[in-house]
Amino acid sequence: MAQVPFDQREGEIWYDGAFVPWADAKLHVLSHGLHYASSVFEGERAYGGEVFKLEEHTDRLHESARILGFEIPYSSETINQATRELLARENLVDAYVRPVAWRGSEMMGVSAQMNTIHLAIAAWEWPSYFNPEERLKGIRLDMAPYRRPDPATAPCRSKAAGLYMICTISKHEAERKGYADALMLDWRGQVAEATGANVFFIKDGQIHTPKPDCFLDGITRRTVIDLAKRRGIEVIERAILPEELAGFESCFLTGTAAEVTPVSEIANWSFQVDAITKALMEDYQREVQPKAEARVAAAG
């Protein structure tokens, strides 16, 4: 069954302060955000009708805009309330939520100081980011052709649309070769992340993960690190070189969409889905689902 294109779906989208029919949530072809990537966004996951760590996501959205040099004209409280109301109006229980802010079309050029800042929030049902059967046995990653850039050359701490161009190219190339995703190195040749998720490795009962000094310190990443520490598992954040991959026993990705996803293969390196990975998968689900179930019970 073919997927309905995202510009042809039913429902409403919150757009610049009002709920509008999905088909009417449009912007002009000469919007600055389209031509110059002056756009920031969030990827959020709702469980039981409520976004997990909504406040953290909204705060990061504001910070991303600030890094790109513009201010979103809506408070965090307004955005959070609009998100909750949108989920209720759309009758969405388990869903993906996408707030996006961008510079409008008053000026067209590199400089766009006078452009209006727009904000939209959309939500839709969201299945597993990766094939469910493949996810349980561990997904396969290729090595990405592009690298995460030096922080001196790009606003890497912003969840900015333009930073994902190389991710799309890399993921498409990996999928053409039969992989689910790709592992990206950074400009120094160190392990960085997947195209849309953070990466962790396990060896001798310890978890190793790259320092997020040129890519996002993901909200799910921080949650899983906290879950591991609750179990008494040591988490080491450090520079990781590609040649170290042969010595790791297990690997997994984390992200709002990916949640906790085991990895069975990265190029020529193989990994087992171990007990620590399985435990963290379960811990993460418990972290989000009990809260969701409590909200549903309270609403009922």
Q: Which residues are catalytic?
A: 159
**In angstroms, rounded to a whole number, what is the distance separating the alpha carbons of residues 65 and 53?**
19
**In angstroms, rounded to a whole number, what is the distance separating the alpha carbons of residues 237 and 234?**
10
For residue 3, the one-letter residue type is: Q
The residue behind tokens 């949640």 is 259
What are the strands, taking DSSP E only, across the chain? 12-15, 18-21, 39-41, 44-47, 50-51, 95-103, 117-125, 139-143, 181-185, 191-194, 198-203, 206-210, 235-238, 250-255, 259-266, 269-270
Both structure tokens of 178: 């039969």
Going from the C-alpha of 215 to that of each of 67, 159, 187, 199, 220, the distances in angstroms are 14, 9, 11, 11, 14
Q: Is 159 helix (H, G, I), strand (E, B) or coil?
A: coil
